[in-house]
Structure 1
Amino acid sequence: MQLIFLCSIIYDIIEAQKGVSYCMTNFIKPDKFTDQTAIAADERRDHYDICNEQILEMEIVPDILFVGDSITCNWVVDLYLGKWGYLVNRGIGGDNTLYINKRADGDVFQLKPKRVVYMAGTNDLMAIHPDFWWNIAGRDADEVIENTLLNIEEFAKRCKDTALYLCSVIPSKLPVPYDKDAYNKAIVKLNKGIEDICKKYGAIYVDYHSHMCSSDGLTVKDGLTHEGVHPNCKGYQVMADVLEKYLEI
């Protein structure tokens, strides 16, 4: 009898809470992009939605918002650039330029940051490599670069009222079986396109690449990454030093 009574109370409480919202009503929450195949952009969706809500509720304007892939996500930006105010990091490991655009309304534009530091393209360019596991040929490098630049340009078009810093893709030193030479040459070509977009839309081109590159102009300097791709502390310090020069302009 007591159990029935308790269940009745719980049912009444649940019914009373239907339709009651404990979060903002005017709050953009990007839907997850798939229920079947894993998409990197979905990885931190719930976490970023909760964080975005708090920023909006508190009516705080980020001084700088960083958006990108794992290189951005792993960067503890406050340690290096904390003097520049309230910093928000919306990097997601494995993300690419297409899905950054898809989540930009929620993770960037609704927060109305004073400045946006955008760095992406590393994962887009991975498509030029063949998939030996599934026996799939790599895509044409020029096609991949063109599509990546179209995505970056689409983002730049939306930053008319925001100071935009488009960052170069950093050099790498990929292991076998990747074709590191083809990949690094694609990075150089992509970066030239990013620089051209900056000129077209009045964005600031942040040149990490030349400051992190070996004398060959292609591969990353020794001691700046963990495994040839992701920066270590020294690598992030180089990036912070470079970015600060542009922030001071």
Structure 2
Amino acid sequence: MNQERPHLIRPGFFSINAAADRRRNEFDFHNEALLYHDRTIDTIFFGDSITHWWDLSTFFANSPYTIINRGIGGDTTTHARLRFPADVLQLRPRHVIILIGINNTWALDAFSPVDRLSAEEIYRQVTGDVDSMVQAALEMAICPVVCSLLPTRMDRYARNDERNDLVVRINQAFKTMAAGSGAIYVDYHSHLTDSDGLTLREELADDGLHPHVIGYGIMTKVLCETLSAHGIELLG
């Protein structure tokens, strides 16, 4: 066995409070192991807590492929873009499933005016960062799969209606982005919304944000069907 450690891209830590730092050491150790053993990776799921909490080993238990989870709870597109070279590009998967952006929208409700952002500012931030990741993947011959943001049902937030309207705008931009770049777009949103087409169905999440097992089941089905239509089989 090779006794030399591989060269490893490490993004380092962003700040004392950055959500992206919470799994940095874990991911660096795991990334190094994958590189050292020269593992062929089919698919990386990349995103925030909705990816982090997705039990891929259960939902994709019958897959013959190597599927890796690189989700971090609380992550935003700002830091996701910066860790993308470490957690995706250097591992050279065939596909990357990108689901990120909802945490950026908490800036609508930020207590401090310094941290508060308008819907337009968040829209530009999210779409710009995701486009950057899509282009970086394409340059490495990695197939990017851009997933719609999920609807929310966060009634305790005064601006949740504005958030859900913003999510629809961002998703339309993702769909257009994918069509223009050759990426694949996955529409989870329309399969999870209530009759208004904006709000998360109450029975799919306990906290109005994170899908439980039924919600993840729907997402798994939508993802597999969408990829299958493009000739990609996650479950073999």
- In the alignment, which residue of structure 2 is the partner of 1:69? 48
Alpha-carbon distance between aligned partners in 1 of 2:49 and 2:216, rounded to the nearest angstrom = 13
Alpha-carbon distance between aligned partners in 2 of 1:233 and 1:150, rounded to the nearest angstrom = 31
- In the alignment, which residue of structure 2 is the partner of 1:199? 179
Alpha-carbon distance between aligned partners in 1 of 2:31 and 2:119, rounded to the nearest angstrom = 36
Alpha-carbon distance between aligned partners in 2 of 1:26 and 1:176, rounded to the nearest angstrom = 46
- Per-residue Cα deviation, 1:191-246 (whole angstroms, up to 9, x for no partner): 01111110121111000000000010110112111210011000100100000012
1:164 alignment partner, SS class: strand
- In the alignment, which residue of structure 1 is the partner of 2:34? 55
Q: Which structure ranks higher in relative contact order (CA pairs < 8 Å, sequence separation ≥ 6)?
A: 2
Q: Is the counterpart of residue 119 in structure 1 residue 99 in structure 2?
A: yes
| Letter in structure 2 aligned against 1:109 | L
Contact 2:56 2:69 in 1 (8 A): yes
Q: Which has the larger radius of gyration?
A: 1
- The offset of 1:135, in angstroms, is 6.0
Count the aligned residue pairs: 224
Contact 1:30 1:106 in 2 (8 A): yes
Instruction: Select the residue among 32, 37, 45 that pairs with 2:24.
Output: 45
Alpha-carbon distance between aligned partners in 1 of 2:151 and 2:38, rounded to the nearest angstrom = 38
- 1:1-249 matches, cutoff 5 A: 24-34=5-15, 37-84=16-63, 85-131=65-111, 134=112, 138-160=116-138, 161-248=141-228, 249=230
Alpha-carbon distance between aligned partners in 1 of 2:113 and 2:108, rounded to the nearest angstrom = 13
Instruction: Give the aligned CA root-mean-square deviation in angstroms.
Output: 1.5
- The offset of 1:23, in angstroms, is 6.9
Q: If the length of structure 1 is used for normalisation, what is the TM-score?
A: 0.86
Unaligned runs of 5+ in 1: 1-21
Contact 2:6 2:32 in 1 (8 A): no
Structure 1 residues 117 and 33, CA gap change in structure 2 (3 angstroms): same
| Letter in structure 1 aligned against 2:109 | H
| Letter in structure 2 aligned against 1:228 | G
Structure 1 residues 155 and 67, CA gap change in structure 2 (3 angstroms): same
Contact 1:169 1:208 in 2 (8 A): yes
Identical positions, percent: 32
1:172 alignment partner, SS class: coil
Contact 2:108 2:159 in 1 (8 A): no
Alpha-carbon distance between aligned partners in 2 of 1:53 and 1:130, rounded to the nearest angstrom = 37
- The offset of 1:98, in angstroms, is 1.2
Contact 1:69 1:93 in 2 (8 A): yes
Alpha-carbon distance between aligned partners in 2 of 1:192 and 1:179, rounded to the nearest angstrom = 20
| Letter in structure 2 aligned against 1:26 | H
Structure 1 residues 136 and 103, CA gap change in structure 2 (3 angstroms): closer
| Letter in structure 2 aligned against 1:187 | V
Unaligned runs of 5+ in 2: 231-236
Alpha-carbon distance between aligned partners in 2 of 1:178 and 1:62, rounded to the nearest angstrom = 42
- Per-residue Cα deviation, 1:165-201 (whole angstroms, up to 9, x for no partner): 1000011101323321111001001101111110121
Contact 2:44 2:93 in 1 (8 A): yes
Alpha-carbon distance between aligned partners in 2 of 1:189 and 1:172, rounded to the nearest angstrom = 14
Q: If the length of structure 2 is used for normalisation, what is the TM-score?
A: 0.90
